[in-house]
Amino acid sequence: MKPFRFRLESVVTLRNWEEQRARTAYGQALGNEQRVQAQLDDIDARREAGLAACIQKPGTAISGDLRASQWRHLVALERERADAVRKLAASRRIREQKMKLLVDAYRKLHVLENLRARQSQAHRADALREEERDIGDIVNARRKCGTTS
């Protein structure tokens, strides 16, 4: 019997390539989201430090210019934080889209791999049946000839 040959092997290769591309794109999107989250965490830490600096300690006087400067810094941090939050939301949407593409690519590949496995099993079963039939033919031929050993 001929050896098993999966006729859709080129499609499996293509699906593997698509899955690798989707995996890479998802990794990049995840890395981008983590980078934006780190920026947001940094902004929050600087904001907390700025707020702590704004609190007037007992017995100290803060000039109006210093207070205005601190206030402008906090307002700028709030704008920067709002921008980072928008970027984080956008990067999460992109990551979710890439995840859906990865899941779709995995499913398409998995379907072909299951098909290949089923066809391979069917081929093996056919080969075993053919071998059993051939052995049966040999045994029956010997019986007809009267030679049994």
pLDDT tens for 53-87 read: 777 666 666 777 877 888 898 999 999 999 999 99
Q: 64-145 and 9-54 helices cross at what angle (nearest 10)?
A: 160
Mean pLDDT of the chain: 90
> Domain for residue 149, yes or no?
no
> Domain for residue 98, yes or no?
yes
Q: What's the structural domain count of the chain?
A: 1
Report the share of the chain in percent with pLDDT over 90. Answer: 64
Geometric angle at alpha carbon 39, from 35 and 42, rounded to 5°: 135
> Domain for residue 50, yes or no?
yes
Region 11-36: mean pLDDT is 97
Q: Measure the CA–CA gap between 74 and 82, rounded to whole angstroms.
A: 12
Model pTM? 0.73
> Domain for residue 44, yes or no?
yes
- Cβ 43 vs Cβ 80: under 8 Å: yes
Domain enclosing residue 88, as ranges: 9-106
Name which of 46-50, 130-134, 143-147 the model is least confident about: 143-147
> Domain for residue 134, yes or no?
no
Q: Measure the CA–CA gap between 106 and 117, rounded to whole angstroms.
A: 16
> Domain for residue 43, yes or no?
yes
> Domain for residue 136, yes or no?
no
User: 1-8: long-range contacts (C-beta < 8 A, 24 or more apart)?
Assistant: 1/126, 1/127, 1/130, 4/119, 4/120, 4/123, 4/124, 6/116, 6/119, 6/120, 8/112, 8/115, 8/116
Task: Give the rounded distance of the alpha carbon of 11 from its chain centre.
Answer: 21
> Domain for residue 143, yes or no?
no
pLDDT of residue 17: 97
Which tens digits make up the pLDDT trace of 30-40? 999 999 999 99
